[in-house]
Amino acid sequence: MKKNFSKVLSIFRGLLIVLKYAFRRPVTIRYPEEKRKLPSRSRGRHYLTKWADGKERCVGCELCAIVCPSQAIYVKPAENTPDDVHSHGERYASDFQINMLRCIFCGYCEEACPTGAIILGNEYELSGYDRESLIYTKEMLTEKNPGDSGRDPKREI
């Protein structure tokens, strides 16, 4: 009897708890109008960064393409020639594509990169209307000016 009574009582306690929660602020937000600020190290879309002098960091070593578990990265390396210097190394990436449909945002490419060329930014709104638009080309990935991606262009790696 006493046990049953406490069971019934717990129903009312539950009701009161739910009522209490009704007066709290909702934890959800009106998404497209309001956006939550993500932690700075959260992983979103990729950037190919540049040095402070405007040269590309990527030296075309293909380590990112090798480490990528979902094989989303394609790198086509080419030699720097004296009158056409793209990077500080011997080679540079003449083509660099990331298939955002395959990418799982694990961040291994960022860890593998010896020059800190590829980094993952915070933007996560990466939808598109067709598959081609989601294969990011080198122009889309490379930051326009050094530091645009939020990464300090003077940083060594």
Partner 1 sequence: MLAQTMEVLIKGLVLVLLLMGAAAYMTFLERVLMARMQLRLGPNRVGPFGLLQPIADGIKLLTKERFQPAGVETFTYWLAPSISAFLALFIFVLIPVGGTVEIWGHPIRLQIADVNAGIVFLLAFSSLAVYGVVLAGWSSNNRYSLLGGLRGTAQMISYEVPMGLALLTVALSAGTLSLSEIVEAQKEHWFIWTNPVSFLIYLITGFAETNRSPFDLPEAEQELTAGYHTEYGGMKFAMFFLAEYINILAVSSIAVTLFFGGWHGPGDLPVVWFLVKIAFFVFFFMWVRATIPRFRYDQLMSFGWKVLVPLATLNLIVTAYFILVWK
What DSSP character marks residue 94? E
Phi-psi region of 37 (alpha: psi -120 to 50; beta: other; left: phi over 0): beta
Among 1, 7, 27, 83, indicate the residue that binds partner 1 (CB under 8 A). 27
CB of residue 26 vs partner 1: minimum separation in angstroms? 5
User: Of the listed pieces 17-25, 43-51, 95-103, 126-134, which binds partner 1 according to CB under 8 A?
Assistant: 17-25
CB of residue 73 vs partner 1: minimum separation in angstroms? 38
Q: How far is 58 from 61, CA to CA, in rounded Å? A: 8
Determine if 2 is a binding residue for partner 1 (CB under 8 A): no
Judged by CB, which is closer to partner 1: 23, or 139? Answer: 23
Q: How far is 21 from 82, CA to CA, in rounded Å? A: 68
Among 30, 36, 41, 154, indicate the residue that binds partner 1 (CB under 8 A). 30
Determine if 9 is a binding residue for partner 1 (CB under 8 A): no
CA distances from 112 to 20, 135, 137 (A): 50, 21, 20
Judged by CB, which is closer to partner 1: 9, or 15? Answer: 15
Triad 120, 126, 128: Cα angle to 5° = 145
Exposed, middle or buried, 118 (CB in 10 Å: 0-12/13-18/19+)?
buried
User: Of the listed pieces 21-29, 68-76, 92-100, 118-126, which binds partner 1 according to CB under 8 A?
Assistant: 21-29
* Residues lying near partner 1 in the complex (CB under 8 A): 11, 14-15, 17-19, 21-22, 24-30
